[in-house]
Amino acid sequence: MFFDPLYFIIVGPAIVLSIVAQIWVKSAFNKYSKVGVATGLSGAQVAERIVSQAGLGVRVERVSGFLSDHYDPLHRVLRLSPDVYDGRSISAVGVAAHEAGHALQHAKNYVPLKWRSALVPITKVGSSLAWPLLMIGFLLGAVGLIKVGIIFFSAAVLFQIVTLPVEFDASRRAVGVIQQMGMVNAVELEGVKKVLGAAAMTYVAAAAASIAQLLYFLMRAGLLGGRRD
């Protein structure tokens, strides 16, 4: 299927968008990681202050990797990559505040976050089974396997779609709380917005790529205005 012209027509633009988004977020992060914040706060300190002020009882820990930052709602742990945990830059403050935004969502029972958390186990199973089923189904011309594979793949697509409001809302909360708590000045806040805006595009690109792939599978299966080969 990867040599199918239709695949490149439908999925190709989304793949290009994903590559551009990754380059953009790395460029923005690197640019603003060189610009310190006037308060001298590190990413870890920013995250700790946010969760502490909200009385969340969330731990902040260092985790290895580049931009591997995430919030673990199950264990109530906010994990920051070394560049963010130790960094005292606009990038570090922005990313740390964004992850703290997820902790705030969890505390407020933000509905899209609950949906995304509920989809995690389904998505893991779906992602591991979808591609083998689809590949075997298309190779053997087994319509039943293709349909099951599409159903599993649809769970992963749904996860990507639900992720969008979760990520955008976390950034909105991050910008609001660091401004309210005086962690950044007006100029630094604009830098934070650019870093988080670039990061948001990676999620948009991922969702677009997943939707495009789903459309391709539906068309090749003859379920959406196409014929099955």
DSSP assignment of 115-172 equals: HHHHHHHHHHHHHHHHHHHHHHHHHHT-HHHHHHHHHHHHHHHHHHHHHHHHHHHHHH
99 is catalytic: yes
Whether the per-residue pLDDT at 229 is higher than 60: the answer is no
What would you report as the CA-atom Rg of the chain, rounded to the nearest whole angstrom? 20
Spatial CA neighbour of 91 closest among 207, 215, 188: 188
- Domain locations along the chain: 5-220
Rounded-to-integer distance, Cα 86 and Cα 16, Å: 33
Rounded percentage of the chain residues whose pLDDT exceeds 90: 84
CA-CA-CA-CA torsion sign (179, 98, 173, 47)? negative
Q: Work out the number of other CB atoms within 10 angstroms of the CB of residue 190.
A: 11
54 DSSP 8-state letter: T
The answer to whether 114 and 64 have CB atoms below 8 angstroms apart is: no
Sorted by sequence, the CB contacts under 8 Å of residue 190 that are 6+ apart come out as none
Question: Mean pLDDT across the stretch 106-112?
Answer: 95
- Exactly one of 48, 61, 99, 167 is catalytic; name it: 99
Give percent of the chain with pLDDT exceeding 70. 97
pTM greater than 0.75: yes
Write down the pLDDT at residue 222.
84
| Per-residue pLDDT tens over the stretch 1-46 | 557 888 889 999 999 999 999 999 999 999 999 999 999 999 999 9
